[in-house]
Amino acid sequence: MATILIVDDDRALREGLTETVADLGHTPVPAASGSEALARLQEGPVAAVLLDLRMPGDLDGMATLERICALPDRPPVTVLTAFASPANTIEAMRLGAHDHLTKPIGRSDLAAALDAMLAHARPDAAAQAAHAGHPGLVGSSESMRRVQKTIGLVADTASTVLIRGETGTGKEEVARALHAFSRRRARPFVPVNCAAIPGDQLESELFGHVRGAFAGATADRAGAFHQAEGGTLFLDEIGDMPAAMQAKILRVIQDCVVTPLGGRSARIDVRLVAATHRDLPALVAEGGFRADLYYRLNVVPIDLPPLRERLADIVPLAEHFLAPSGKRLSGGAASRLLAYDWPGNVRELRNVVERAAVLVRCGVIAADDIDLPAARPERRAGDGSLQDWLSGDLPGAVARLERTMIAAALREADGNRARAARRLGIQRQLLYAKIERYGLGTPGADLSGDTTGDVVNPDASDPPEPG
């Protein structure tokens, strides 16, 4: 049994977490504010902390997290929020959070989070001041949140990062986020596309040259490594780098020394981030890429999933690209975007959305305004039932899904709301609020009319579900 500090200004959610933590065999200690939580930490040891991100007053969740992480014997902290964003996810992980989860959190997820915190206490890290997020990294899907958490964990380290993913998935945005959330953010970020520069020019591009080093070298020129001094050098498409350059890059990584063409060697302080759409282990096996360089680059791998596996990110990305135009998507347009396979990934989505924004004069983009290649059939064009689900606006589609799942869970539980909540993986208070919202507790609703026999029904007195 462990003592778990639960920090949330919302009484209903705080009590729901307290009940679940107690059911899991731990001792919950509730706190209604960051100040109350810090005071409790001074009174005695706490094994782990569940911390709400958005709290009123001067000490919000991020400020509270920073104070906790500055303690000499700090407990691991999992941040909970109903408003997850790339910026607050990365910043929370960078400040020292053990994890960053979205509300509502199911019982199994909460149990896993507590087990992980209790088994693996994170080492101390210097607390950093919060700063503006990286606007280009958009996505709240589980796969993208894993990427964001990794960025937060490694941003302040010197480890080399290898970003892997299909063309157009946003590898450079991840590299820029690594730089923007690091201590090197005030120094340069220098991107170099290794596939776009001819092999005979790549050495000069990376290492620089002095005047007279070769024909046409009329002046000294600093290479990308020197330009990125103190900052981050991003080597994109490193899988296309010529073999001769691979050996030289390996030497730079090992020795932190760069020699310009015709010049003298000099030490450098550069954080190296590489990216590729190619299968480097396969290239190594074929002899097309140096094994020793691959292992030097692959210290921290970050895998970017293709957009077709990130359905939750498609509409937010489209809205992000539309924002400068002031236009918005209709429900039909959003459905059309969700039904397409996106072989060109985020880059293709951006082009399609920007084209629609330019060609449509009114403020709302309709389904017919979304120009997609006819040669690429929509992934679910024949699935009429799914198209019905995707019709209308996004909140309406989410509400239909929620109502259907809750009704099914209540039927399977014979109307027992406690069992239905466990089946759905949510807290009972949240289930009660949603039953009232969707009218599932009224006569004629599509579920059993029997209510829970062993649990008092608080529908009429429960506070509304928090936003």
The sign one gets for the Cα dihedral 8, 9, 10, 14 is positive
Are the beta carbons of 180 and 134 closer than 8 angstroms? yes
Measured N-to-C along each axis, helices 311-322 and 331-339 cross at an angle, to the nearest 10 degrees, of 130
3-state secondary structure of 308: helix
Cis peptide before 458 (omega within 30 of 0): no
We find that the CATH architecture of domain 307-392 is Orthogonal Bundle (1.10)
Report domain extents, the chain: 3-133, 153-303, 307-392
What DSSP assignment string belongs to 216-266?
T--S-EE-HHHHTTTSEEEEETGGGS-HHHHHHHHHHHHH-EE--BTS--E
Residues comprising the chain, all counted? 467
For the segment 301-330, what is each residue's pLDDT rounded down to a tens digit?
999 999 988 888 898 899 989 988 988 888
User: Burial of 426 by CB count in 10 Å (0-12 exposed, 13-18 middle, 19+ buried)?
Assistant: buried
* Domain over 3-133 is classified CATH 3.90.580.10: no
What is the per-residue pLDDT for 411?
82
Are the beta carbons of 451 and 420 closer than 8 angstroms? no
Are the beta carbons of 302 and 150 closer than 8 angstroms? yes
Amino acid identity at 347: R
The alpha helices in 181-242, defined as continuous H runs, are: 199-207, 224-227
Q: How many whole angstroms separate alpha carbon 190 and alpha carbon 170? A: 16
Tens digits of pLDDT across the chain (467 residues): 689 999 999 998 999 999 999 888 888 999 999 999 999 998 888 999 999 998 887 789 999 999 999 888 889 999 998 888 888 899 999 999 999 998 888 888 898 889 888 875 433 333 333 333 455 578 878 889 899 999 999 999 999 999 999 999 999 999 999 999 999 988 999 999 999 988 778 888 899 888 877 777 778 888 899 999 999 999 999 999 999 899 999 999 999 998 888 888 889 999 999 999 999 999 999 999 999 999 999 999 999 999 988 888 898 899 989 988 988 888 888 888 988 999 999 999 999 999 999 998 888 899 899 998 864 444 444 444 445 555 556 666 677 778 878 888 888 788 888 888 888 888 888 888 888 777 776 544 444 434 433 333 333 334 444 44
Q: What's the CATH number of domain 153-303, 3.90.226.10, 3.40.50.300, 1.25.40.340, 3.30.590.20?
A: 3.40.50.300
Amino acid identity at 12: A
User: What is the token pair recorded at 57?
Assistant: 């007053």
Q: How many whole angstroms separate alpha carbon 72 and alpha carbon 13? A: 29
Q: How many whole angstroms separate alpha carbon 340 and alpha carbon 355? A: 16
What is the per-residue pLDDT for 108?
86
Asked if domains 3-133 and 153-303 share a fold, the reply is yes
What is the per-residue pLDDT for 28?
92
